[in-house]
């Protein structure tokens, strides 16, 4: 099975959507470090972010599963790109869906950050592999894309566990960098795939 280029483009743009929701949500949703929940007066906004997050996370999760189960890139790389793209997409989509449910239900969001922390470590390992083995057509941009995901995922732990708001601001800064680098990555995919 060979996936169309459009599949990868849409998946990359979906990562941009997830990053945008994360970045804007980190500034718009008021988090209370004492209760580890969001301000109840934001319930309508929380639900809006959660619904959008579940939709974006679901697509990313399904995309990752398709790559894992059908190994569409095996002819290109003996499966390296299936592992590189499918694994992190599945984990990232699952993380985003689960985090969105936490936001919707407004329960203690610290446990989801442990999941995020491990997913961030996974992205760090992938980043290392991209650079070490020169994976993808633009390894530097791809490495930055994976680091863009890893940084806010790892920073989610101190941002939710510590009362110092500087951690949340640092989280937000890295979330916006996540947006920027994936805008470049998604645009690079699309432009390369539209070349006649």
49-62 pLDDT per residue, tens? 999 999 999 999 99
**Residue 1: what pLDDT?**
46
Residue 100 to residue 134: CA distance in whole angstroms? 34
CATH number of the domain located at residue range(s) 5-27+40-190 in this protein: 1.25.40.600
Alpha-carbon distance values, 90 to 11, 59, 163 (Å): 11, 9, 31
- Nearest-angstrom CA–CA distance, 132 and 39: 44
Say yes or no to pLDDT of 2 above 50: no
Domain locations in the chain as residue ranges? 5-27+40-190
Is the distance from CB of 100 to CB of 53 less than 8 angstroms?
yes
Distance CA(39)–CA(139), nearest Å, equals 41
> Which pLDDT tens digit goes with each residue over 3-33?
565 778 899 999 999 999 999 999 999 998 8
Q: E-strand spans in 20-84?
A: 31-32, 37-38
Q: 3-class SS at 131? A: helix
Q: What is the pTM of this model?
A: 0.91
Instruction: Output the pLDDT for position 74.
Output: 62
pLDDT at residue 85 in the model: 86
Per-chain mean pLDDT for the chain: 91
- Categorize the per-residue pLDDT at 42 as very low, low, confident or very high, splitting at 50, 70 and 90: confident
59-92: pLDDT as tens digits: 999 999 988 887 766 666 666 777 788 899 999 9
């Amino acid at each position: 099975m060979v996936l169309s280029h459009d599949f990868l483009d849409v998946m990359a743009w979906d990562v941009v959507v997830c990053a945008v929701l994360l970045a804007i949500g980190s500034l718009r949703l008021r988090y209370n470090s004492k209760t580890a929940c969001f301000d109840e007066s934001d319930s309508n906004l929380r639900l809006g972010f959660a619904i959008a997050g579940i939709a974006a996370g679901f697509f990313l999760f399904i995309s990752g599963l398709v790559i894992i189960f059908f190994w569409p890139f095996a002819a290109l790389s003996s499966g390296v790109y299936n592992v590189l793209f499918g694994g992190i997409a599945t984990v990232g989509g699952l993380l985003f869906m689960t985090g969105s449910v936490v936001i919707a239900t407004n329960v203690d969001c610290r446990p989801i950050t442990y999941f995020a922390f491990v997913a961030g470590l996974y992205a760090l390992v992938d980043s290392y592999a991209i650079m070490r083995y020169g994976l993808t057509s633009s390894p530097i941009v791809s490495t930055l894309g994976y680091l863009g995901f890893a940084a806010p995922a790892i920073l989610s732990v101190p941002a939710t566990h510590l009362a110092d708001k500087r951690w949340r601001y640092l989280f937000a800064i890295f979330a916006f960098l996540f947006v920027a680098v994936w805008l470049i990555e998604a645009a690079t995919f699309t432009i390369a795939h539209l070349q006649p």
